Amino acid sequence: MRIGVIGTGVAGSLFAATLMRNSPAVSIHAFDRIADNGRDEAGTGLNIGPNAVKALRRGGCRELQELVTVSLPWRRWLIALTDGTKLIDLDLSDVAEEPGLRIRWSHLYHVLRSASAACTHYDRSLEALEQDAEGRLVPVFRTSAGELIREGSFDLLVAADGRYSRLREVVDGPPRAVYPGIGTWRLLVRDSQCPIDDYGQYFCGNARLLSFRLPGDYAYIAGSFPLAGSGSVPRYLKTPQAQRRFFEPRSGSASPAVKWMLNLMDRHMDSMNWARTQEIETVHHALDRRVLLLGDAAHAMYQTLGQGATQAIEDALAAAHIAGNAPASQDQVCTAYEAKRRDRIAFAKRLTREATDTLMPGADVIAGSLAKAREPFLSNLRQLYADVA
Ligand SMILES: Cc1cc2nc3c(=O)[nH]c(=O)nc-3n(C[C@H](O)[C@H](O)[C@H](O)COP(=O)(O)OP(=O)(O)OC[C@H]3O[C@@H](n4cnc5c(N)ncnc54)[C@H](O)[C@@H]3O)c2cc1C
């Protein structure tokens, strides 16, 4: 079977590397629009759930050790108010078998993309899809020089090209998106004075600051705030004054950790990454089971439990296992993948949505946060972190 992978972010690179390593009989070719692996410094920081660590360990993936080397363990989940009032401080060892990881996005990409580089063609941005005389799929790429290129035909194409997947759009139309009313900015800063160690969230009404320390004196800071409507974040909200109004306590003063975050927010307003939370319908396969969708291309996750990259890792390992075990056809790969992943993805999606309740306009932040240290939320979290196929 000849498999083409579109996109070598988290899911695509891990899928391609695992298949290349474990199943030499499969012919695998990956494509990405970036120029090469070394030059990508994109992104901020992210936390990877203990369930992805468990999946990598059980899959015998050598990338795990490299990821551990360039990350810090994620062991706790603190929720407080921006005036410093502590609400919960969850020890992840109560709900998971091992810690998660706190990592720079560029380091995660570098480790995973290095493992798949041998089968990857860079500077290939998917533009369109054709079929050859035998009905096999022929992706059409555009290079940065504007040239259109075809790299042969494939029995199965894997859409791993992220939230704005061109392949999904071509084979299934633009995904319907739901906007729950949350805007977010994200920032990676180098600051040796970071007063926050592990994963901490700080609420003021339904607005939330989030931060954790990363290797090399770096820190990740994110702010989420109520944002009605759809479309990009309006310019009038992209100022220190507008953002401070969301996060400064209504009475009393901000805690030292929150002051530190707000000062950095003020200084780095121009280099922030802004986004609006959106939910898209899950699609596992398309085009008569000739296109398999993984990661954000298939299902974007809400931001609270660090499950975006985490589920992309679970997807990639499950798909590589199925595709590597001599299935007779691409149809069987898609069918077996959906049977294995459908319920798990639906569960993770539901739980990340539930865990994001306190960011929803009007939600009771104190009650919603305290509920995260009680049943049934803890049992759900245990299932998320431990129940890895
Ligand atoms: C700012 C931000 C912060 C986040 N923080 C977290 C977090 O803390 N924890 C967490 O688990 N998740 C987090 N996520 C989500 C997480 O990054 C994604 O869920 C994860 O990267 C999805 O992996 P993926 O492989 O599906 O897609 P991606 O990692 O996005 O990879 C997509 C790949 O496709 C390539 N590509 C795109 N279009 C084309 C095309 N037309 N042709 C060829 N190649 C193409 C891209 O270059 C890229 O390499 C965050 C997301 C954002 C935006």
pLDDT in tens, 193-206: 889 989 999 999 99
pLDDT digits (tens, 9 = 90+) for 334-364: 999 999 999 999 999 999 999 999 999 889 9
Burial class (CB in 10 A: 0-12, 13-18, 19+), 202: buried
> Atom 38 (ligand 1): residue with closest C-alpha?
161
Atom of ligand 1 minimally distant from the CA of 34: 47
Omega of the bond leading into 226 within 30 degrees of 0 (cis): no
**How big, in percent rounded to 5, are the helix, strand and coil portions of the chain?**
40, 25, 35
Residue 44 CB less than 6 A away from ligand 1: yes
Residue 8 CB less than 6 A away from ligand 1: yes
> Atom 48 (ligand 1): residue with closest C-alpha?
9
| Most confident region among 37-41, 104-108, 227-231 by mean pLDDT | 104-108
State whether CATH 3.50.50.60 applies to domain 2-72+102-177+280-360. yes
Domains of the chain, by residue range, sit at 2-72+102-177+280-360
Residue 223 CB less than 6 A away from ligand 1: no
Determine the Cα–Cα distance for residues 157 and 139; give it in Å rounded to an integer.
9
Q: What band does 230 get if pLDDT is binned at 50, 70 and 90? A: confident
pLDDT digits (tens, 9 = 90+) for 262-320: 999 999 999 999 999 988 999 999 999 999 999 999 998 888 898 999 999 999 999 99
> Atom 31 (ligand 1): residue with closest C-alpha?
9
CA 134–ligand 1 middle distance (angstroms): 33
For the record, the structure tokens of 45 come out as 């920081």
CA 308–ligand 1 middle distance (angstroms): 8
Is the C-alpha dihedral spanning 87, 91, 94, 96 positive or negative?
positive
Residue 272 CB less than 6 A away from ligand 1: no
pTM over 0.75? The answer is yes
Q: What band does 38 get if pLDDT is binned at 50, 70 and 90? A: low
152: left (phi over 0), alpha (psi -120 to 50) or beta: left
Q: What band does 328 get if pLDDT is binned at 50, 70 and 90? A: confident
Mean pLDDT of the chain: 95
Tell how strand 199-204 and strand 76-81 pair up: parallel
Determine what percent of the chain is predicted with pLDDT higher than 90. Answer: 90
Q: Residue 187 is which amino acid?
A: L
388: left (phi over 0), alpha (psi -120 to 50) or beta: beta
Q: Residue 183 is which amino acid?
A: G
Determine the Cα–Cα distance for residues 157 and 168; give it in Å rounded to an integer.
11
> Atom 3 (ligand 1): residue with closest C-alpha?
46
Residue with tokens 């798949």: 116
Average pLDDT over residues 12-26: 95
Q: What stretch of H or E contains 119?
A: none
| Best residue among 46, 165, 272 to mutate for probing ligand 1, ranked by most atoms within 8 Å of CB | 46
Residue 212 CB less than 6 A away from ligand 1: no
Determine the Cα–Cα distance for residues 293 and 298; give it in Å rounded to an integer.
5
Q: 10-22 and 105-116 helices cross at what angle (nearest 10)?
A: 30
- Are 310 and 48 contacting, i.e. CB atoms less than 8 angstroms apart? yes
Q: How far is CA 223 from the centre of its chain?
A: 17
Task: Report the pLDDT value the prediction gives residue 231, as an integer from 0 to 100.
Answer: 87
Residue 286 CB less than 6 A away from ligand 1: no
> Atom 35 (ligand 1): residue with closest C-alpha?
7
Task: Report the pLDDT value the prediction gives residue 39, as an integer from 0 to 100.
Answer: 53
Atom of ligand 1 minimally distant from the CA of 295: 26
Task: Report the pLDDT value the prediction gives residue 280, as an integer from 0 to 100.
Answer: 92
Residue 32 CB less than 6 A away from ligand 1: yes
Q: Answer whether residue 327 shows pLDDT above 80.
A: no
> Atom 27 (ligand 1): residue with closest C-alpha?
162
First CA to last CA distance, the chain: 25
Determine the Cα–Cα distance for residues 157 and 30; give it in Å rounded to an integer.
10
Average pLDDT over residues 362-386: 97
Residues in the chain: 389
Residue with tokens 């998971």: 96
Degrees, nearest 5: CA angle 278-280-282: 150
